[in-house]
Structure 1
Amino acid sequence: MDRTDDDRSKEAGPSTVRSGPVPPLAGLRAIDLSQVLAGPYATWALAQLGAEVIKVEPPGGDASMQVGPFVRGTSLYHRTVNAGKVILTEDLSTQSGRKHLDDLLSTADILIHNLRADSAERLGVAPRQLSVRHPRLVMVTIAGFADGTPEGGRPAYDLVIQALSGIMSLTGNPDQPPFRAGVPVSDLAAGLWAAIGALAGLRHRDISGDGGHLEVPMLDASLSLLSYIGTDAATTGNTPVRIGNQHPAVVPYGSYEAADGHVVIAVYSDRFWPSLCHALELRALKEDSALNRMAGRVARREEVNAAIQGAIAGRTRAAVLAVLEAHDVPCAPVLEVDEALATPYVRGRAVVRDVEENSVAYRTIAAPIKGIKRSDG
């Protein structure tokens, strides 16, 4: 079993003395057989919370190693979602490879993989096979579609699942074709649900003493993101439509163009409406009692938005935000990604961190949870 990456060795893992918040998953070991994004993102989250993650990749490595951008021949895509893991190379098609993996699993708490059912069976890592040898192991499998369904076993990537979930139909302006979301939300949702499922499985094991298998279909995970929009469609039979940056039931709620960029305004509650009118000197709208309630503003969406746009046009983004913030109106500039990563908040939270691994230096995004604090801390 060859180590191909020295991200974090076992010696630097859970036993290391740390200061500050305690990694809540310290002492847990997870084995990751997944590739590309959803599974590696799940185990990245576990690693950031303190679990020791050992990622077992096939000869030639994870397919994501072929995806750029690259620094000194190294895929930043692969590095990003595999930070904090010990990466090993193992050929699971061989008897010795399967034996080495089985030895690892005998020491593990969690296994996550996204192998197709037939491949998992052939390699001896199907849940029914592993449950006999490792009854306390919590197994989480990720696939595009649930096993046992007509779609089970079909290949699926983020774009395919966004299309099937309805998310693409909701993304973009009404006069334009559907767009995929700017980040791979279907992969990331499946990854987060896989991490949640792993922790739920551990809780079950705490109570029952037994591990078990949790399945995370990417389509199901993406459908869960529809939330209240899905509830509306399922209950009323209505077909939600693309509405760009607007909200179907809230006005004003969207982006507006200033002289040097865009700002967003989110008047989600009626209590912010008078403040907005006062800040932007929209006297006529403020005096119109029909607009005091959300339903009235929704009915006159175009009129309200046109008035706000007219008040903002010609002003700089900074000037607009200053007056809105002074009146406690929920607002923000629309930032480019590099701008978003350079704000005082992001710098103060150390969200962007410097990493150097195997002579490759890069900057990446830290996990949102830094650890667990003592209740008296």
Structure 2
Amino acid sequence: MAPSPRRTGTPSCRREPVSTERPFAGVTVVEFGHFIAVPWAGQVLADGGAHVIKIEPLEGEPSRHIAPLGGGESRHFLIRNRGKHALPLDLRHPDAREILEALLARADVVLTNMRPGLAADLGLEYEQVRPRHPRLVVGNVTAFGARGPDAALAGMDLVVQGRSGLMVTGGRVKDGLPTTGESPIADYMAAALLAFGVASALYRRERTGRGGRVDTSLLLAALALQNNLMVRVEALDGPRHAAFREWLTRARAGGVPFAEQVERMPRNRVVASQAIYIRTYATKDAALAVACGSPSLRRKFMAAVGHEDPALKAPVADVDAHYAALKAAVEATIASRTTQEWKVALDAAGVPASGVALPVEILDDPQPAANAMFQRFEHRTLGPVTVLGPPVQVDDGGFVPGPPTPAFGGEVRAILAWAGFAPRDVERLLAGGAVTPTAP
């Protein structure tokens, strides 16, 4: 990406030169991000060479304070904010508008996931900045989308997973209630979509010379993750869905347990897949995941476990009864050997299969290590730290994990100087309190 013509030279607050092999070299991002979606999108852009200025409250971004490790750091902050330059800024301070305008004049991209209405109050909506900065790309993440009856509502990953159905299709049941898995997957999907949208808008700017608005939401991200279910063939599915909705209304009014509501939900997956071929199994010592999506893979799987499935050769009269019996037989066979024994046998047969790992095991797994999926660095106060590297790799060092952010507030003078403020104005702004951190 070519840098905006509004500035030249290397920003003084950068800690290292940036190779032109990196896709976002020369691109400056001003990030107003908190928690997950926008911070991780900003980190992806930073890994790709972007110069990212992260605007934080004077007390620091909220994720700094989730299970803090001291010195303004936490695991949550470390994994989503490397390679950035943090600027504490009181957005309601009288001096804030002057600082924001100086940053926008040097920016190519602005990223926000503010609560509904705040970006407009601060003059950061795309329609507000476009007249002054027509080349600026403004990327926004909302909870439910920028329009519609829920547009002004606050929301976070768990809430949106519930609203979208993702909690049912990708979550779990705990104490009889639906809940999410351990990972806030809608947030991370929204981050990936935002980074892709920003890259697309910058690429378009190369041809048109104009910036643009990029919108995504946690709701859209959650729906994208359920793309297999987000389809209705009206002639086939319409009556079935309508009948279920009628039943669901009566069931909820009658106090039918949620687990039963889920069990009655229409699904597109066929009986064979659920019973035998695309599922997890209990082994002698742990669990095994198997995915056989084609007839050839299913035949290989049956041969490896020593069973036959006549339905692979010809239709059977009672599909449910057939697969119920076969399911019990296959489960008993797989339970008789260890996960590793089955892994060896299924690998040899060419069947996609894996043991079910616990996340902590992956940090020491040789396969991610062989592909440089993790980064190990020396933190200034925490010592050696291992984190996930860039989620995409481009040849010749296109994406390189950056260092952790410096001590909070340690780059204020450098960032303000890069933004064009003379030394006396930097001191004035510091004395006025707009950029003076209140916490480490």
Distance 1:188 1:355 in 2: 23
Deviation at 1:359, TM superposition (A): 2.0
Q: State the partner residue of 1:205.
A: 205
| Matched residue, 1:166 | 165
Q: What RMSD over aligned residues (CA atoms) do the two structures have, in Å?
A: 2.9
- The match for 2:388 is 365
Say whether the 8 Å CA contact 2:44–2:391 is kept in structure 1: no
Residue 330 of structure 1 deviates from its aligned partner by 1.0
Amino acid paired to 2:230: G
Q: CA deviation at 1:126?
A: 2.1
Amino acid at match of 1:267: C
CA contact (8 A) 1:111 1:140 kept: yes
After TM superposition, give the deviation of residue 303 of structure 1 in Å. Answer: 2.7
> 1:282-335: per-residue Cα shift (whole Å, max 9, x none)?
1xx25x2x2347999974443332222111112111111111111111100000
Whether 1:259 aligns to 2:284 is yes
Q: Which residue of 2 aligns with 1:45?
A: 44
Partner of 1:248: 269
**Aligned counterparts of 2:12 and 2:268: Cα–Cα separation in 1:** 47
String of CA shifts for 1:318-360, please: whole Å, max 9, x gaps.
Answer: 1111111111111000001121222211121222222233322
- Report the counterpart of residue 431 of structure 2 in structure 1: none
Q: CA deviation at 1:96?
A: 2.2
Task: Give the secondary structure class of the aligned counterpart of 2:282.
Answer: strand
Query: In structure 2, do the counterparts of structure 1 residues 232 and 307 end up closer, same or farther at CA, with 3 Å as the change threshold?
Result: farther
Please report how far the alpha carbon of residue 270 of structure 1 lies from its aligned counterpart in structure 2 after TM superposition.
0.5
User: Tell me, what secondary structure is at the counterpart of 1:353?
Assistant: strand
The match for 1:5 is none
One-letter amino acid matched to 2:388: I
- The total of aligned residue pairs comes to 357
- Structure-2 residue corresponding to 1:11: 14
Instruction: Please state how far the C-alpha of 1:64 moved relative to its aligned partner.
Output: 1.2
Aligned match of 2:189: 189
Instruction: Report the 3-state secondary structure (helix = DSSP H, G, I; strand = E; otherwise coil) of the residue aligned with 1:163.
Output: helix
Offset at residue 194 of structure 1 (A): 1.1
Using a 3 Å threshold, how does the CA distance of structure 1 residues 339 and 106 change in structure 2: closer, same or farther? same
Shift of residue 242 of structure 1? Answer: 6.0
Structure 2 stretches lacking a partner, 5+ long = 1-10, 245-260, 398-440
Measured against aligned partners, the alpha-carbon deviations of 1:93-129 in whole angstroms (never above 9, x if no partner) come to: 1232221222122111111011234322222212222
1:105-144 equivalent positions in 2, closer than 5 A: 105-144=104-143
In structure 2, how many angstroms separate the alpha carbons of the residues matched to 1:23 and 1:364?
Answer: 21
Structure whose CA Rg is larger = 2
Q: CA deviation at 1:173?
A: 6.7
Tell me which residue corresponds to 1:236.
Answer: 237
1:147 is displaced (CA, Å) by 2.9
Please name the residue that 1:305 is paired with.
Answer: 327
1:331 matched to 2:330: no
Question: Cα gap change, 1:117/1:156 in structure 2, threshold over 3 Å: closer, same or farther?
Answer: closer
Deviations 1:222-246 (A, max 9, x none): 2222212111487724469569xx9
Distance 1:231 1:25, change over 3 A: same
- Write the letter of the residue equivalent to 1:279: A
TM-score, normalising length: structure 2? 0.74
> CA-to-partner distance for each residue in 1:5-64, whole Å, 9 max, x for gaps?
xxx974334x3459xxx3222221111011111111111111122212111111111111
Q: Shift of the alpha carbon at 1:85?
A: 0.9
- Which residue of the partner structure matches residue 343 of structure 1? 365
Deviation, 1:154, is: 1.0
Distance 1:273 1:31, change over 3 A: same
Query: 1:367: Cα distance to partner?
Result: 1.3
What secondary structure, in the 3-state scheme, does the structure 2 residue paired with 1:207 have?
Answer: helix
CA distance in 1, matches of 2:178, 2:345: 35
Aligned 8 A contact 1:24 1:50 in 2: yes
Aligned counterpart, 2:293: 268
**TM-score (normalizing by structure 1):** 0.85
Q: Give deviations 1:176-196, integer Å, cap 9, x for gaps.
A: 643313310111121111111
Residue identity (%): 27
72 and 62 in structure 1: CA distance in 2 versus 1, 3 angstrom threshold? closer
**Which amino acid in the other structure matches residue 214 of structure 2?**
L
Query: Paired residue for 1:84?
Result: 83
